[in-house]
């Protein structure tokens, strides 16, 4: 019965957009052609009354997304950071979704706290406020610890939010499957893998123990980053559905009037937001994956405070280097190198023409860099790059989806602070620093040293493996009792170990 239910869910989504008036708003924001608008109205109008009504006091798109549930709200939160895509008026309306959603009753939150922490609330906290912020997944209360009087933030999941998300994700799987069936050309984009990635991200966000672990790791990674801080989790007061953090006080990143009144330099703040994100992604390989204005506060001294660590991104060293080289290549307009990186990383099939790919990349980069700073956009670059990679058979890289999406969001945050900001000028020194540290003799020595350390773990096994390999070589009749690959493995380990140690020692000297 899942198929019919999911089909009904998708029909109801379209009907809700039509009933709330959001369909017209979205088509206008997309500057959709007349034929698409006509088709949307013809297909949506018969089902209009099946749509959810939502809160009539809210603007149409906000009304539709809040009625449809958490997964759709996440989509609206992303759009809220893109005034250059949806327009300033619509972006301001959608910002409501970031931390101003209707809260659930305090009594329900208190019951969940007592259940999750297995103790009466008044034994743990001397005071718990009404909700101070409410988002799609959870809401936050200010509280005071009963034993120390220290102020903390208590995050509580919304009741039944897990079931609501699973319902939406199931419908998304159905839609992805239908798209792959109807449009085989989309299979290279791996829509089902994209949904699986989204599902894994959501599952992590629905377990506050994982969020507490992310907060602790992120705080440790960034403790020396000037002008940036992360609240620390209080582990004994955290569980699957409740998390307690140190309290963080500050102005909302999206409140430009408050920032101006406090004398905060918004241009410097925008530069710092972009710089910190790139540094976390490239230096640490661990970055905040949901950096919209609702998850960022600014202290009176101008320090940025990050909140909400349910969505965090992680990329391995190889991918970081490839991503940095691609960015650096675009910054330097070295399109041949950008093409080579795509081929070296396996992003583009090896049977394609690298020179043609480099020329296509130039057609992406040159128009972007010839624009005024106000019009240079990572979102536009990614859109153009998507068109080019489609022609060359590049498949969707699910490990980069969150990184690319977050870069677009962070750029939107920076532009909301200063519409004139040029993210390429901001990115250049960060990427150059990473390139110096990660590509070159110093990086090679570090890689070889790490390899040598790994090889030493095989040390206790080497005598036995060497003996077995030599016996097998001297006595062919006994080879059947000797692991077939023992000889090559042993000599490869020994050779690599000697070579690695020699190069590392040479580099150190």
* CA nearest neighbour of 310 among 417, 233, 416, 386: 233
Strands 125-134 and 296-298: unpaired
Q: Are 133 and 104 in contact (CB under 8 A)?
A: no
Which letter does DSSP use for residue 105 in this model? Answer: P
DSSP bridge pairs for 288? 312
State yes or no: is 168 an active-site residue: no
Q: Which of 170, 290, 316, 353 is catalytic?
A: 290
Query: Please, where are the H alpha helices in 106-189?
Result: 106-117, 121-124, 161-182
Where do we find the tokens 């060497």?
466
Beta strands across the sheet bearing 138-145: 125-134, 138-145, 151-157, 242-246
Residues in CB range of 450: below 8 A, 6 or more apart: none
- Tokens found for residue 410: 């962070």
Please count the other Cβ atoms lying within 10 Å of the Cβ belonging to residue 126.
14
- Tokens found for residue 16: 């809700």
State the Cα angle at 361 between 355 and 367, rounded to 5°: 135
- Tokens found for residue 497: 């170990």
- Tokens found for residue 56: 């009539």
DSSP reduced 3-state for 71: helix
State the Cα angle at 457 between 468 and 478, rounded to 5°: 10
Measured CA to CA, the distance from residue 361 to residue 393 in angstroms comes to: 14
3-state helix, strand, coil in the chain (%, to 5): 65, 10, 25
Measured CA to CA, the distance from residue 211 to residue 406 in angstroms comes to: 18
Active-site amino acid positions: 290
């Amino acid at each position: 019965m899942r198929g019919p239910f999911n089909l009904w869910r998708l029909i109801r989504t379209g009907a809700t957009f039509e009933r709330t008036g959001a369909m017209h708003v979205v088509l206008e924001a997309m500057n959709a052609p007349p034929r698409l608008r006509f088709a949307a109205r013809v297909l949506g109008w018969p089902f209009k009354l099946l749509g959810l009504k939502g809160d009539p006091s809210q603007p149409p798109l906000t009304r539709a997304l809040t009625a449809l549930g958490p997964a759709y709200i996440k989509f609206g939160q992303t759009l809220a950071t893109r005034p250059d895509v949806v327009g300033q008026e619509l972006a301001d309306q959608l910002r409501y979704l970031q931390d101003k959603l209707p809260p659930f009753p305090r009594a329900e939150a208190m019951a969940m706290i007592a259940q999750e922490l297995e103790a009466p609330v008044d034994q743990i906290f001397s005071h718990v406020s009404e909700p101070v912020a409410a988002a799609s997944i959870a809401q936050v209360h200010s509280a005071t610890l009963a034993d120390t009087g220290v102020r903390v933030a208590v995050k509580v999941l919304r009741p039944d939010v897990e079931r609501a998300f699973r319902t939406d994700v199931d419908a998304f799987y159905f839609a992805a499957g239908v798209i792959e069936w109807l449009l085989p050309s989309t299979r290279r984009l791996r829509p089902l893998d994209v949904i699986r990635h989204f599902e894994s991200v959501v599952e992590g966000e629905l377990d506050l123990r994982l969020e507490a672990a992310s907060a602790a790791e992120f705080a440790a990674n960034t403790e020396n980053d000037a002008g940036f801080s992360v609240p620390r989790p209080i582990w004994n007061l955290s569980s699957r559905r409740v998390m307690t953090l140190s309290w963080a006080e500050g102005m909302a990143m999206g409140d430009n009037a408050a920032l101006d009144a406090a004398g905060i330099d918004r241009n410097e703040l925008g530069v710092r937001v972009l710089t910190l994100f790139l540094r976390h992604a490239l230096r640490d390989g661990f970055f905040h994956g949901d950096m919209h204005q609702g998850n960022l506060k600014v202290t009176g001294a101008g320090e940025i405070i990050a909140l909400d660590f349910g969505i965090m991104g992680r990329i391995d060293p190889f991918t970081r280097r490839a991503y940095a080289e691609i960015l650096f290549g675009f910054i330097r307009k070295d399109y041949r190198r950008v093409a080579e990186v795509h081929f070296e990383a396996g992003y583009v099939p090896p049977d394609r023409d690298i020179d043609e790919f480099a020329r296509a990349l130039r057609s992406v980069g040159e128009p972007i860099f010839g624009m005024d700073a106000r019009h240079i956009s990572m979102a536009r670059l990614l859109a153009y790059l998507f068109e080019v990679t489609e022609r060359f058979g590049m498949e969707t890289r699910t490990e980069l989806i969150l990184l690319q999406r977050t870069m677009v969001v962070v750029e939107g945050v920076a532009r909301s602070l200063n519409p004139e900001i040029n993210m390429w000028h901001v990115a250049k020194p960060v990427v150059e620093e990473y390139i110096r540290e990660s590509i070159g003799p110093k990086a090679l020595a570090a890689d070889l040293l790490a390899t040598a350390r790994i090889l030493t773990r095989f040390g206790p096994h080497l005598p036995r493996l060497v003996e077995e390999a030599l016996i097998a070589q001297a006595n062919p009749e006994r080879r059947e009792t000797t692991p077939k690959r023992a000889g090559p493995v042993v000599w490869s380990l020994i050779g690599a170990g000697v070579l690695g140690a020699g190069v590392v020692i040479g580099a150190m000297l």
